[in-house]
Structure 1
Amino acid sequence: MPHFNPLIARLSPPPVPSVLAWAKAYDGARGPLIDLSQAVPGYPPHPDMLTWLGEAAASPAYTGYGPIEGEKVLRDAYAAHVSGLYNARIGPDHIHITSGCNQAFMATVMAIAGAGDTVLLTNPFYFNQETTLSMLGIKTELLPCDPGNSFLPDIEAVTAVLRTGVRALALVTPNNPTGAVYPAALLRRIFALCRANGVWLILDETYRDFLGEDASPPHALLRIGDWQDTLICLYSFSKSFCIPGHRLGAITASPQVVAQVAKVMDNLQICAPRSAQAAIAKALPALDDWRAENRVEITARADALRSVMSRLTGWKLQAIGAYFAYIRHPYPDISSEFVAEKLAVIAGIVCLPGDYFGAGQEAYLRFAFANADVATILQLEDRLSGFELPGI
C-alpha cells in the first residue's frame, strides 16, 4: 500500500470537478445546462487585453525568470491603483505579485503562521482557504456568521475568539460563498480588535471590483497609520480582467511581510507568470471604463436573480453580492449535497452545496450567478419552481 502525507490524504477531492461530474448525467430535458458552479467571468476579456497578452507572450524579454516579488512595471501600476482606490500611500515595496489569489493566501499564511498555530475563518468559509490551512498543519477555528444578518459576524463573537490566541483572522469581502459585503465600519471595528490582540487580519478582496459605486472605497484600513503591523490584503486580477487561466494575484502588506512572502514564493514558483504581469500593467489604467461596464452588467445579473427568487416558494435568497448568492433550499431534512446533485441531474442547474463551506451549512446552495447572463438567470424561475426531489 502506498503511503501519503496524512494532511493531504484526508482532504476531500477538489469540489468543483466533482460537482461538474454530476452534470454529465443531465439529459438536457429542461434546456441547456446552467452552470453556476465556479466563479469564472461570464464574458470574454477585452480585445486589447488579448493583444497585450499575445505581445508579451511572444516577447523573448519575458521567457526568463523574473523578480520573485513581481515585475516592477506591475508592482508600480498596482501600487498606484490601490493608492488611488483607497486614497492611501501605497508604494511598490508594499506589493507582492503571486500566481492567483489562492497562492497569495497560501504564501501569506506560510509567512505568518506555522504548524500548530491557529487561524480563524468564518463559517461558512471559502473551502480552499480551509484546505490550505489543513494541509499545512495549521489549526482552524470558525467564527460563526449570522444568516439573519446576511452572514456577517457578530462583533461580540469576534471579540471573544480573538482573545483565545489565534494567529490570524481571514475575511473574504465580498464573501465567497455568501456574497456578503462587509461594511467599512464593521471592518474598522474588526481591525481595531485584531490590532489590540496582536492578530493579523488577512483581507481577501478578490471580488471588490464588482461592488457598486457607492461602496468605493470599500474601507479605510489602509489609511490607518500603523496598518502595516497587522493587515494583509489579497486580490485577484482574474475576475476583473477575465483571465483566470493566467493565474495572477497580489498581496498588499508591509515591506517586511513582502520579504517573508518572497522566501515562500522562491520555493513555490519563483515568479508569477511574466507575460500576464506585463499585460495587466497596461490594462490596469487603460480598461477602467470597460471594468465599470462589467460591474454594471454583474449588478444586472444580481438584480435578475433577486427578481427570480422573490417569486419562488420555498427557496430563499439568504445573501447576495458581487459574484455569489447563498440560497436556502426548501428541503430542511436533506443535505445540500444531495439537493445539488439532483438539481444538476434533473434540472440542469449546477451549483455548489453548502456542505462544502463548513459545518451547519447543509441547508444552503451557492449560486455563482456572475457566470450566467440575465436571460439565462431568468430561466431559473421555471426550473426551480418545477423542481421536485425524487421520492419526496
Structure 2
Amino acid sequence: MVDVSQPAARPRVSARIGAIAPSATLAVDAKAKALKAAGRPVIGFGAGEPDFPTPPAIVEAAVRAAADPANHRYTPAAGLPALKEAIAAKTLRDSGYEVSPGSVLVTNGGKQAVYQAFATVLDPGDEVLLPTPYWTTYPEAIRLAGAVPVEVVAGADAGYLVSVEQLEAARTPRTKVLLFNSPSNPTGAVYSPEQTEQIGRWALEHGIWVITDEIYEHLVYDETVFTPIVKVVPELADTTIVLNGVAKTYAMTGWRVGWMIGPDDVIKAATNLQSHLTSNVANVSQRAAIEALTGDLSAVAQMRAAFDRRRRTMVSMLSQIDGVQIPVPQGAFYAYPSVTGVLGRTIRGVTPATSAELAALILEQVEVAVVPGEAFGPSGYLRLSYALGDDDLVEGVGRIVELLGEAR
C-alpha cells in the first residue's frame, strides 16, 4: 500500500536563527519606554545611547544632502569615497597610524560591522576568545558564523580586565580570533597602553586574529588614555579588524553609520557579503558622517564632560549600598556594579538569587530599569548607563539605593 501519512512537520524557523537570543539591552529599554508611555514614572538605565541631540552642523549637512539628487541613487556598497577618505584621515588623527581608504568598509552601524567581521574570518568550529563581561551581541554574532565563543572571565576584583595568562590558558588549537573591546561595554574598563601591548604581542606570537571594537575611543576619563592595539603593535595590522562608528562619539545612534578597517582581502570579502545583505549605507547618513568626522571635536568634549560628571555621581551613590562593589569605570558611559553581596538577602519579602531576579525586583518595586549581568556573562552584576539626564540619574539611582538599603 501507498503510505499516505503526513510527513512530520518541519520547524517554521531555522535552528540557526531560532537559537539567537534577543538583545537584552534593547529589550530592557523597550520595556522601560512602554511602561513610561503607559504613565508609569519609570527611569531607564538600559539603553547605551547618548541623551544629547546630534550636533547641529551634522544635521544641517544631512539636510543639504537630502536635497541633492546625487544622494537619491545607489552608491558603492563599500561606502562613499569621500567618507572612506574621512575615516582614513580620522584614524590617523585619533589613532596615530595610516590606513588606506581602500581598507575601509562603511556599514549600517557598528553592529553590522561586528557581524560581518566575524562572518568574514570565521569557519564552523573556530573558537573566539571572548573577554567577559562582554557586549551582548558578540557571542550571538560568533555563533551565527558557526564558531564557538570561549568566555574568559574577569570580575570586579580584576577591574574587569583579562590578563595574558588567562588568555593563554583559554587558547586551544582551534582558537582563531580574540575579541578586544576597550573602552568596554558593559563595564567601562579601559586597558592601559602596557596591557594592550602585552595582549597584542601575545596574539601576534600565536597567529591569532584580533577584532578590536573601538567605538568608545573618545569617551575616557581622568588620566585614562585610549590605546589602539594596532598603534602599539603595528605588526598586527595584517591580522586585525578595527570596528568603529559615529554612534557614541557624535550622538548619532539612529543614523546607522559604522565601519570596518582591515587587510584588503578581508575588506574585499566583507564588501562582497554586504553587497548582498544591504548594499550601500543610506547616502544622507554617510554625508552626515563626513561632516562629523571632518568637523571639530568641541561638541564631543562637551558631551564627555557631562558623562564624566554623571559617572562620578553614579559611582558615589552606588558605593553607598552595603554589598555592592563598583570598580570606577574609566571609559564609555556605563557602570557595572557587582551585586553578589546583595543576592540572597531579603528585600520587601523577596529574596533574589540572581541579578536577573534583582533587576526584576528593582523594576517592580521602584520602577527603575537596569540590565542584569546575565545579558553580558555571569550573574551577579547590573549594568547602568549614565547617558541620561542628571536629574533622572539622581532620582533613579536614589530609588535603587533606598530599595537595596532595605536588604536584610
Task: Give TM-score, length-normalised by structure 2.
Answer: 0.88
Letter of the structure 1 residue corresponding to residue 391 of structure 2: A
Which residue in 1 is equivalent to 2:100? 91
Query: Is structure 2 residue 220 aligned with structure 1 residue 207?
Result: no
Measure the CA separation in 2 of the matches of 1:20 and 1:180: 23
Query: Is structure 2 residue 390 aligned with structure 1 residue 368?
Result: no
> For 1:267-346, what aligned pairs fall within 5 Å after superposition?
267-320=276-329, 321-329=331-339, 330-333=341-344, 334-346=353-365
> For 1:205-284, what aligned pairs fall within 5 Å after superposition?
205-212=214-221, 214-216=223-225, 218-219=227-228, 221-222=230-231, 224-284=233-293
State the SS of the aligned residue for 2:293. Answer: helix
Distance 1:244 1:22, change over 3 A: closer
1:200-233 CA deviation, whole Å, 9 max, x = no partner?
Answer: 0111011111113844552362364423222111
Distance 1:296 1:72, change over 3 A: same
Which residue in 1 is equivalent to 2:77? 68
The equivalent position to 2:160 in structure 1, one of 151, 159, 179, is 151
Which residue in 2 is equivalent to 1:379? 395
Letter of the structure 2 residue corresponding to residue 356 of structure 1: A
State the SS of the aligned residue for 1:51. Answer: helix
1:284-321 CA deviation, whole Å, 9 max, x = no partner?
Answer: 12131111111111111111112212333333324523
Measure the CA separation in 2 of the matches of 1:170 and 1:127: 13
Q: Is the 8 A contact 1:67 1:271 kept in 2?
A: yes
Letter of the structure 2 residue corresponding to residue 98 of structure 1: T
In the TM superposition, what is the alpha-carbon distance from 1:10 to its structure 2 partner?
Answer: 2.3
Distance 1:215 1:328, change over 3 A: closer
The equivalent position to 1:349 in structure 2, one of 359, 368, 375, is 368
Deviates more, 1:298-307 or 1:319-328: 319-328
Measure the CA separation in 1 of the matches of 2:231 and 2:66: 34
Letter of the structure 2 residue corresponding to residue 145 of structure 1: A
Measure the CA separation in 1 of the matches of 2:226 and 2:253: 24
Measure the CA separation in 2 of the matches of 1:266 and 1:310: 49
Which residue in 1 is equivalent to 2:6? none
Distance 1:368 1:50, change over 3 A: same
Distance 1:240 1:225, change over 3 A: closer
Deviates more, 1:98-107 or 1:376-385: 376-385
Which residue in 1 is equivalent to 2:347? none
Distance 1:107 1:127, change over 3 A: same
Structure 2 runs not aligned, ≥5 long: 1-8, 345-352
Measure the CA separation in 2 of the matches of 1:133 and 1:12: 12
Runs of 4+ in 1 over 4 A off after TM superposition: 24-29, 213-217, 388-392
The count of residues paired between Structure 1 and Structure 2 equals: 388
Q: Is the 8 A contact 1:25 1:345 kept in 2?
A: no
* Structure exhibiting the larger radius of gyration computed from Cα positions: 2
Q: Is the 8 A contact 1:86 1:223 kept in 2?
A: no
State the SS of the aligned residue for 1:239. Answer: coil
Q: Is the 8 A contact 1:27 1:345 kept in 2?
A: no
State the SS of the aligned residue for 1:152. Answer: coil
Measure the CA separation in 1 of the matches of 2:17 and 2:360: 25
> For 1:61-140, what aligned pairs fall within 5 Å after superposition?
61-140=70-149
Letter of the structure 2 residue corresponding to residue 298 of structure 1: F
Measure the CA separation in 2 of the matches of 1:173 and 1:206: 9
Structure 1 runs not aligned, ≥5 long: none
Measure the CA separation in 2 of the matches of 1:357 and 1:182: 19
Distance 1:300 1:117, change over 3 A: same
In the TM superposition, what is the alpha-carbon distance from 1:20 to its structure 2 partner?
Answer: 4.0
> For 1:139-218, what aligned pairs fall within 5 Å after superposition?
139-212=148-221, 214-216=223-225, 218=227
Letter of the structure 2 residue corresponding to residue 203 of structure 1: T
In the TM superposition, what is the alpha-carbon distance from 1:363 to its structure 2 partner?
Answer: 1.0
Deviates more, 1:2-11 or 1:234-243: 2-11
Letter of the structure 2 residue corresponding to residue 368 of structure 1: S
Q: Is the 8 A contact 2:257 2:285 kept in 1?
A: yes
In the TM superposition, what is the alpha-carbon distance from 1:17 to its structure 2 partner?
Answer: 4.6
Q: Which has the higher contact order (CA 8 A, sep 6+)?
A: 1
Q: Is the 8 A contact 2:196 2:232 kept in 1?
A: no
In the TM superposition, what is the alpha-carbon distance from 1:68 to its structure 2 partner?
Answer: 1.7
In the TM superposition, what is the alpha-carbon distance from 1:21 to its structure 2 partner?
Answer: 5.8
1:253-276 CA deviation, whole Å, 9 max, x = no partner?
Answer: 122221121111112111122211
Task: Give TM-score, length-normalised by structure 1.
Answer: 0.91
Measure the CA separation in 2 of the matches of 1:336 and 1:228: 39
Measure the CA separation in 2 of the matches of 1:335 and 1:144: 18
Q: Is the 8 A contact 2:321 2:405 kept in 1?
A: no
Deviates more, 1:79-88 or 1:309-318: 309-318
Q: Is the 8 A contact 1:86 1:220 kept in 2?
A: no
Letter of the structure 2 residue corresponding to residue 353 of structure 1: P
Measure the CA separation in 1 of the matches of 2:143 and 2:229: 32
In the TM superposition, what is the alpha-carbon distance from 1:144 to its structure 2 partner?
Answer: 1.8
Measure the CA separation in 1 of the matches of 2:222 and 2:324: 30
Measure the CA separation in 2 of the matches of 1:71 and 1:158: 38
State the SS of the aligned residue for 2:154. Answer: strand
Distance 1:175 1:62, change over 3 A: same
In the TM superposition, what is the alpha-carbon distance from 1:350 to its structure 2 partner?
Answer: 0.9
Q: Is the 8 A contact 2:122 2:145 kept in 1?
A: no
